[in-house]
Amino acid sequence: MTKYQYSNDTDSDLVIVGVGVVNAGGAIGSDEPIENPNLTIIDTAKKKPINKEPGDVEQAQQ
């Protein structure tokens, strides 16, 4: 599973060095952040790791 998901919102294909080709209107995943104004990051909040200390207890949301 990749850490970052990006969508190409342009009307043309993009070539991202070290990552690959992103088709127009398509999406691509990467383990490293990509800085490109033509790409939009897709919500990855569910995939972000949470740093916890041993013994931490999660509180149930009400």
Per residue in 21-54, pLDDT (tens digit) is 889 989 988 888 888 888 899 876 555 555 666 6
- 3-class DSSP assignment, residue 46: helix
Distance CA 26, CA 43 (A): 15
> Whole-model pTM?
0.61
Take residue 35 and report the two structure tokens written for it: 């800085």
Give the mean model confidence (pLDDT) for residues 7-30.
Answer: 88
